Amino acid sequence: MQDAPFQSQSIALCPSSALLNSGLAVPFDVQYGGQTCLGFAVRYADKVYAYLNRCSHVPMEMDYQPNRFFDMTGHWIMCATHGAQYDPRTGRCRSGPCRGALVPIATTEVGDMVYWHTAYNLKPIPF
Ligand code: FES
């Protein structure tokens, strides 16, 4: 017998106004690979993007101050530990000691709300 197909859930994250272009991120808890981790959502060039807060170089959180991920130019997500830079639109490495891309988390913006979407490897924290 086959497992039931995975069905993604949409989870309300924050009002749209909480995310400004190249501004502070909104963090949220996710279960990734059975562990509780942090995700973060940012807005860049008017679109919302979200990733697991885990550098591809060493699996550490990346913000250099709470919820601050963008470098001084406002164009790159930068890891505070060794300076890896990632493209906020794709999570791909731009420079530094990355070992791959960031783990993306799907988002949508409907009306004035931002939602993140579960995936087979990204689940909400059970209550
Ligand atoms: S841990 Fe992020 S660059 Fe090394």
Pick the atom of ligand 1 nearest to 56's CA. 2
Helix, strand or coil, per DSSP, at residue 16: helix
Report residue 80 as tokens. 């505070």
pTM of the model: 0.94
Which one-letter amino acid corresponds to residue 74? G
Instruction: Give the distance, in angstroms, between the CA of residue 112 and the centroid of all CA atoms in the same chain.
Output: 19
Spans of all domains in the chain: 10-123
Give pLDDT, residue 126: 79
Which of 95, 110, 97, 91 minimizes the C-alpha distance to 49? 91
Domain spanning 10-123: CATH superfamily: Rieske [2Fe-2S] iron-sulphur domain (2.102.10.10)
In the beta sheet, which residues pair with residue 10?
117
Question: Alpha-carbon distance 73 to 118, whole Å?
Answer: 31
Question: Alpha-carbon distance 9 to 46, whole Å?
Answer: 24
Report residue 26 as tokens. 């909104």
Q: How does residue 1 score in pLDDT terms, banded at 50, 70 and 90?
A: low
Q: How far is the CA of 11 from the centre of ligand 1 (A)?
A: 29
Q: For residue range 33-85, what is the model confidence (pLDDT) as tens digits?
A: 889 999 999 999 999 999 999 999 999 999 999 999 999 999 999 999 999 99
Pick the atom of ligand 1 nearest to 59's CA. 1
